[in-house]
Amino acid sequence: MQWVEAAPAKINLFLHVGPVEADGYHPLSSLVAFADVGDMLILDPDGPPGLSVVGPFADALIRDPAGQAGNLVLRALAGLGAATGLETSSLSLTLDKRLPVAAGVGGGSADAGAALRLARRYLAPDLEDPVLVQVASGLGADGLMCLASTPAWAEGKGEVLTPEPRLPTLHAVLVNPGVPSPTGAVYGAYDRLGVGGADRPAGPASWDAEAVIGWLAAQRNDLEAPALLNTPAIGTALDAVRAEGQARLVRMSGSGATVFGLYDDAAAAARAADALEGTHPDWWVRQAPLVGGSDA
């Protein structure tokens, strides 16, 4: 019997970023949610040791060392083995790479989080959370949030998390124009522009979807402007989602190049996804609910 673990896409509903600090990192404030779409990690108890990569974005990951998804999976498992003595190097894993690479949706970190959850389920079901947290904390700014894969406020460098169970399910369409947006280059452009601040806003007056979307409209993604300088196709994607006409909010996630629209209901999101697929058949377009805190 194969063991399967989902690696859902991470969406930054807003992303406030401060100036670079002495350690080379940028402070941030974000509210993150996770989509009902993502990569899949499969463990075969009878397969040979190692990690293979398949799926529509496997070639992009293999060609792009900056993608790091495969490496992050292996790093996560090596870290878990070092911390616990578990024989993680003997696992036979297949990564079904369904998310675009360098796309602002935490794909590599999501895969690493899935690897940690799957290894615990298979090798040590009683292993306590702090061990996984320790390993995930060494896997980059998205490591801890993607280990949990539930709605949360993220602060510090992304490692200070506060769960947000009040976030409702939001109806979204994710759009990627088929170009990578390397995180380092986006932050470099951000530093040259010198904009933004890592302020955490007060939450919405209420946590129904209508109020949350209205509140999000007053927030921002501070990496959007620098990402557009590097990758104009992101602007084309943002304009296309706006032009379709049904989105209540349109924004870039993370450092791009994926953008998203939020909609009144699933039917509106489905219509928008169909329309965008029709006008841009070469883009990656997915209707994907962002799972609320009570449903996570």
Residues acting as catalytic residues: 10, 142
Cα–Cα distances in Å, from 81 out to 112, 125, 138, 139? 14, 15, 14, 15
With beta carbons less than 8 A apart as the criterion, state whether 289 and 268 touch. Answer: no
- Determine whether the annotation assigns residue 107 to a binding site: yes
Peptide bond into 257 cis (omega under 30): yes
203 is in an annotated binding site: no
Identify the DSSP state of 267: H
Please state, in angstroms and as integers, the Cα–Cα distance from residue 204 to each residue in 11, 166, 211, 225, 290, following that order.
18, 11, 7, 25, 17
Please indicate if the annotation marks 110 as binding a ligand.
Answer: yes
Residue 142, classified by CB atoms within 10 Å of its CB into exposed (0-12), middle (13-18) or buried (19+), is buried
- Establish whether 179 is an annotated binding residue: no
- Is 102 annotated as contributing to ligand binding? yes
The answer to whether 143 is a known ligand-binding residue is no
Q: What is the DSSP letter of 170?
A: B
Among residues 162, 157, 129, 153, which one has the least CA distance to residue 143?
157
- Yes or no: say if 55 and 95 are a contact pair by the CB < 8 Å rule: yes
Q: Is 100 annotated as a binding residue?
A: yes
Measure CA of the first residue to CA of the last residue in the chain; give whole Å: 26
Q: Is 106 annotated as a binding residue?
A: yes
Distance from C-alpha of 65 to C-alpha of 85, rounded to nearest angstrom: 29
* Cβ–Cβ under 8 Å, residues 225 and 196: no
Q: Is 131 annotated as a binding residue?
A: no
Binding residues: 100-110
Q: Can you say which residues are annotated as belonging to the binding site for ATP?
A: 100-110
